[in-house]
Every structure is written in C-alpha cells, then in structure tokens.
C-alpha cells in the first residue's frame, strides 16, 4: 500500500450566526449526512467553545475533477409534521444567516468575494442560504446574485464549487503533494431532473409559505489546482491577509506610548518630590529643628492599620495572582506560536489547565496577606480562596449551559465534561490551594517598617479629587485606554466569529496594561496619602480594577452598536459570558 492518501475527506463544524449566540451542530439541520459518522476526538477547549466536528458525505479523490455530483436528496411533504418542522428550522437558519464551517485537512474552507476598494475578503464560513423579506428587502448573502429577488422567498445554497489547491513535490524531489488551500463558492440551482443534473439555470427557491411538496437536491463540483507558490508551512496566511485592521494596531501602540509618557512624567515628579523631602529631612535632623511634619509623614502611625473586610481583600488578591500568572503564561505561549488557530481549542485548554494548576500561589498570597492583616479565621480564608470566585464563575457557566441545553444548541457542554471540570477543580485546584495556604500561614507576616498607633487618627475634610470614589473612577480610565482597541478585536473573535491571531500585540498590550495599572495606582495612592487619608488598602485594589467596569460598559456598547443579536436567550448568554470576563478581569487588574 502506498504511504499517500488519495481520499480527501471534508469535515463539518458546528454552524453559527452573528445574529444569534446559539451554535447548532451540522446534524441539527436536515443536510446530507455521512453514512458512518466519524467524530475526531476533541480537546477540552473545543468542547468548552462548542465546536462539534463531524465527518460529512463530501468525499473527493485527489486530482479527480467532478462536476455537478449529487450528494443526496431531501424531500418535504406539507402533510407531514416532522418534515414541516425540519423545513421551518432550515428557514430559521437562513433567516438568521447561519454559517457553515467546513474543514479540509484541518484548514477552514474559505469563501472569498470582492468587497469595495478592489479588496478580497475571505470568510472562513459560508451561509446556508439567504432570505428576501416580504417587503422586498434583500438580506445578507442574497446581494451576490440579481436573480435572488422574489419577495418572501428563501434561496438555499444547495450546490458548492470547491477548488482545492496543492503544492506538488515533483520539482523539489519529494513524492506526492500537500494541500495548501481550499476555497468554495456557494451556488443555488433548482435541479429538475435527479438523474440528469446540470448545474445551471434558475436558483433553488423555497417559498415563505410551505404548501406543496418540495425536493431539495444537494450537489457539488470539485477542481484541483497546482499552486507551488504557497508553502505548506505558511498555508494559513491567506486567511489572515483578508483580515483588515493591522494599521489600527500601530495607532493603538501610539496611544500606549502617549499613556506611558504621561505616567513616566508623573513618576519623575514623584521621585524628585520624595528625594527632596528626604533631603530636607536629613538637614532638619542635623539642625534638630522641631519643625511641624506635613502630608504623608503625619499618617505614618496609621498607614499599616489593617483594612476593613481584610478577609475579602486577601481572597481577591490570592485569586487575582492565580489569574495573573495564568494569563501571563498563556499569552507567552501563544506568542511563541504554540496556541495558533490551526491548533483548535488549544488556547482555552491551556488556560483552564494552567488555572487549575496555579491553586498554590493563590492560597499562598491569600494566606500571607490575611496573616499580615492579623486575621484569625484562617479556615474560612482558605475555603473562600478555593471556592468563592471559581464558584461564581461556575454557577454563571452552569446557568448559561442550562439555557443552551434547553435550546438544543451544540455549545451546551456534555454532562461528562462538566463532571471533569468539577473533578479538576475539587480534585486538583482546591488541594493545591490548601498546600499554598499552609505555606503562607507558616511564613512570618510581612514586616512593617513603622509601628501602628493604638488610637486611629482623625482624617481631615477631603477635597473632591482625593475622595475615594472620584479617585477610583479616574484610576480605571488610563488602563482602559490601553486595552480598548485590542478589546474590539477580542470581542469580534468571540462574537463575530473572526480569527484572532495577534498574540504578539496582545502580549505587548498585556505588559503595558500591567505597568499602567501599577503606575496609576501608585500615583493616586500617593496623592491621597498626602491628603492625610490612610485608607489605602482597598483603594489600591479598586483603582485599577475599576477598569473592569469600563470593560462592561464597552461590552454593552458593543452589543448595541456592533451585534445584531436577536432573541432573549442569546441576549442572556451574551451578558452571562460577559460577566464572567468582567469578573476575571476585575481580579486580574486589582
């Protein structure tokens, strides 16, 4: 037997839509199905993201051209209620512009078409069909053909022209060929005679009112092209080429530089101020002048007074540390190219596994801080660190999953996976948190350089800007300014099904976000210590974590301005998942 495979199989992924957050499996619609359906094994990330890959009846032989080959026929009888439901579901899919996602040799099969300015746009999916409304509005993909013009009619793309391009090895002295690109054009043809198919003629119309028998014949044509200019290693590039937006990236870097310039000015001022004060101090000390102290020196006896709600703060700090290290490692690996889009589900799998394994630093930081705050209830502290925020995320996730399950969506996570996640949480993460907490409580508490007075000082009347709330609200603006352009692309990749591949940029943004959060917090903290307000613990956490509130506001704006999501379930899902992101981001920035 030769080592080369001449059979090329086409796999189908779940269908999704920009107008609905609910993805559906290929089998949920009444398309042609494979006789023996094979499902490649999926990793945790794919399952969590609702990817469901299955084999399809579209099978080709390498370099064998086919024209207008029949795949299957589907018949619908208006008398039959099952047929009626199936067709209604198919129409709903066309109305909401659900998109197929097909895969050949782990490559997305793309549909490329011309957009304005003579640019080509390649979409890694293509629609089931399209719809012309009863008032004659041509929706979505119906614009590609002037024949799609009948009012209150659905046009089904029941034929695809597939072009598979390969890199031949005969010039480079290696045998065989490698597939480097797969493209398709969706077409709509009304096939009248099943035994004598010709792929031309009028489009396949499905009337809005279903009252007569209907036959849908699915067909395909496939051609092969030799394309030696594309190397196998860079075969994903053509998908990225059609992604606009790299120029905005450089603009965003410019914004960063501006932010950092501002903050470094603040830093220089701050350092020179401190140095001058210490210099004065030394002189005073030499002259032994009993001069009146001022500003932040007055609160030295109160500055390390433990905060109110110290338990909660220490728990937040522990879990923030866990999320911070997880994000750092994940982005670093993504930067090195381990988690590319070709490696499906790798990003999510990596993040979840890292989060589970990083229970120890969470427990350690939380316990150490709690001990520093002179807390007594260490058992409560450990349990809260292990269970509080993961519990909130899991509960939210579970409710979202119930909605998906009721709606019959493919994104609903199977019961087995839920049990596996719970097992990872309670079997690995929680014990590791306990280990971390054990070491944290064994350590000495953090030593303070000054003694804390018995009697708390009176805090003088504060000006508007040194009051807690205005300071916190202002503090979140700078870090948010850093990320909001990247945020647009990240939200696009989650909700508008575009590929996200700019991990190098993202890592840079991550580092700049880190610096900006820290510098903004230090600066504001200094200002209110100068105003003799020594309650800095919670403020230092909330100043930068208020960025999460801006993130939420931005997500709401994105929902209303960019997405055309319809339906209550989809809206609940959007905000449910957004809240999980906001909570994680809150802990991380804090």
The pLDDT of 187-198, averaged and rounded, is 88
User: What is the pLDDT confidence band of residue 252, given thresholds at 50, 70 and 90?
Assistant: low
pLDDT of 554: 96
User: What is the pLDDT confidence band of residue 288, given thresholds at 50, 70 and 90?
Assistant: very low
pLDDT of 475: 87
User: What is the pTM for the complete model shown?
Assistant: 0.87
The pLDDT of 331-353, averaged and rounded, is 89
pLDDT of 63: 92
* Helix or strand (DSSP H, E) at 178: strand 177-187
The pLDDT of 196-224, averaged and rounded, is 91
Residue 116 has pLDDT above 80, yes or no: no
- Determine contact, residues 588/581, Cβ cutoff 8 Å: no
How large a percentage of the chain has pLDDT more than 90? 54
Displacement of CA 336 from its chain's centroid (Å)? 19
The top-scoring range by mean pLDDT among 338-347, 409-418, 422-431 is: 422-431
| Distance from C-alpha of 478 to C-alpha of 514, rounded to nearest angstrom | 11
Tokens 């109110």 -> residue: 308
User: What is the pLDDT confidence band of residue 285, given thresholds at 50, 70 and 90?
Assistant: low
| Distance from C-alpha of 465 to C-alpha of 470, rounded to nearest angstrom | 6
pLDDT of 502: 80
| Distance from C-alpha of 47 to C-alpha of 508, rounded to nearest angstrom | 29
3-state secondary structure labels for all residues of 95-148? HCCCEECEEECCEECEEEEECHHHCEEEECCEECEEEECCCCCECHHHHHCCCC
| Collapsed DSSP state (helix, strand, coil) of residue 546 | coil
Q: What is the pLDDT of residues 75-108, one digit of tens each?
A: 999 999 999 999 999 999 999 999 999 999 999 9
Residue 113 has pLDDT above 60, yes or no: yes
The pLDDT of 320-332, averaged and rounded, is 97
Residue 124 has pLDDT above 70, yes or no: yes
Residue 249 has pLDDT above 70, yes or no: no
Q: Which two tokens stand for residue 219?
A: 């067909």
Q: Which two tokens stand for residue 122?
A: 């390649």
Q: What is the pLDDT of residues 471-513, one digit of tens each?
A: 899 889 888 988 888 898 899 888 887 777 788 889 988 998 9
The pLDDT of 204-214, averaged and rounded, is 91
Q: Which two tokens stand for residue 502?
A: 């700019």
Residue 209 has pLDDT above 60, yes or no: yes
- Determine contact, residues 42/51, Cβ cutoff 8 Å: yes
Residue 164 has pLDDT above 90, yes or no: yes
The pLDDT of 373-378, averaged and rounded, is 90
Among the ranges given (117-126, 217-226, 330-339), the one the predictor scored with the smallest mean pLDDT: 117-126
> Which DSSP category does 25 fall into?
-
Q: What is the pLDDT of residues 441-462, one digit of tens each?
A: 999 888 888 888 888 888 888 8
User: What is the pLDDT confidence band of residue 244, given thresholds at 50, 70 and 90?
Assistant: low
- Per-residue CA distances from 211 to 84, 138, 150, 208 (Å): 10, 23, 17, 9
Among the ranges given (134-143, 372-381, 418-427, 499-508), the one the predictor scored with the smallest mean pLDDT: 499-508
| Distance from C-alpha of 262 to C-alpha of 515, rounded to nearest angstrom | 12
- Per-residue CA distances from 581 to 64, 323, 393, 490, 539 (Å): 48, 12, 9, 11, 22
Q: What is the pLDDT of residues 23-37, one digit of tens each?
A: 999 999 999 999 888
Q: What pairs with residue 187 in β-bridges?
A: 159
| Distance from C-alpha of 394 to C-alpha of 417, rounded to nearest angstrom | 13
pLDDT of 3: 57
């Amino acid at each position: 037997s030769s080592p080369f495979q001449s059979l090329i199989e086409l796999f189908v992924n779940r269908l999704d839509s920009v107008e609905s957050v609910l993805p559906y499996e290929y089998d949920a619609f009444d398309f042609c199905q494979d006789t023996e359906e094979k499902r490649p094994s999926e990793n945790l990330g794919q399952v969590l993201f609702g990817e469901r890959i299955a084999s399809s009846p579209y099978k080709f032989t390498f370099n064998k051209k086919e024209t207008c080959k029949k795949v299957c026929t589907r018949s619908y009888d208006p008398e039959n209620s099952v047929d009626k439901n199936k067709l209604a579901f198919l129409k709903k899919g066309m109305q909401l512009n659900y998109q197929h996602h097909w895969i050949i040799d782990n490559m997305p099969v793309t549909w490329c078409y011309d957009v304005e300015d003579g640019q080509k746009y390649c979409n890694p999916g293509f629609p089931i069909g399209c719809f012309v409304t009863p008032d004659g509005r041509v929706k979505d993909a119906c614009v590609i053909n002037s024949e799609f013009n009948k009012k209150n009619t659905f046009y089904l793309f029941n034929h695809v022209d597939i072009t598979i391009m390969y890199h031949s090895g005969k010039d480079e002295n290696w045998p065989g060929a490698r597939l480097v690109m797969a493209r398709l054009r969706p077409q709509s043809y009304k096939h009248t005679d099943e035994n004598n198919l010709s792929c031309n003629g009028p489009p396949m119309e499905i009337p809005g009112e279903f009252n007569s028998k209907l036959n849908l014949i699915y067909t395909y044509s496939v051609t092969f092209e030799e394309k030696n200019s594309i190397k196998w290693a860079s075969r994903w590039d053509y998908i990225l080429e059609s992604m606009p937006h790299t120029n905005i990236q450089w603009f965003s870097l410019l914004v960063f530089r501006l932010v950092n310039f501002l903050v470094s000015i603040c830093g220089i001022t701050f350092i020179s101020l401190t140095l001058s004060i210490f210099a004065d101090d030394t002189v005073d000390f030499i002259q032994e002048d009993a001069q009146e102290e001022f500003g932040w020196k007055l609160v030295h006896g109160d500055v390390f007074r433990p905060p109110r709600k110290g338990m909660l703060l220490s728990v937040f700090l522990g879990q923030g540390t866990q999320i911070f290290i997880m994000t750092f490692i994940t982005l670093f690996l993504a930067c090195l190219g381990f988690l590319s889009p070709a490696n499906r589900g790798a990003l999510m799998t990596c993040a979840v596994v890292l989060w589970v394994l990083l229970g120890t630093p969470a427990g350690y930081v939380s316990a150490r801080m709690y001990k520093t705050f002179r807390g007594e209830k260490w058992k409560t502290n450990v349990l809260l660190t292990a269970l509080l925020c993961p519990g909130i995320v899991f509960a939210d996730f579970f409710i979202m999953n119930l909605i998906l399950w009721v709606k019959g969506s493919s994104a609903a996570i199977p019961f087995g996976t839920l049990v596996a996640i719970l097992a990872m949480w309670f079997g690995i993460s929680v014990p590791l948190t306990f280990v971390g907490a054990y070491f944290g409580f064994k350590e000495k508490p953090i030593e303070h350089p000054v003694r804390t007075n018995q009697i708390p000082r009176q805090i003088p009347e504060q000006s508007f800007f040194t009051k807690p709330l205005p300071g916190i609200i202002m503090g979140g603006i700078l870090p948010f300014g850093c990320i909001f352009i990247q945020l647009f692309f990240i939200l696009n990749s989650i909700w508008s099904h575009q590929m996200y591949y700019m991990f190098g940029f993202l890592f840079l943004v991550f580092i700049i976000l880190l610096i900006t959060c820290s510098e903004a917090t230090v600066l504001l903290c200094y200002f209110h210590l100068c105003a003799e307000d020594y309650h800095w613990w919670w403020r230092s956490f909330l100043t930068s974590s208020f960025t999460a509130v801006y993130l939420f506001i931005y997500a709401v704006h994105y929902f209303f301005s960019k997405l055309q999501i319809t339906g209550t379930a989809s809206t609940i899902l959007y905000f449910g998942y957004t809240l999980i992101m906001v909570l994680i981001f809150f802990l991380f920035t804090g």
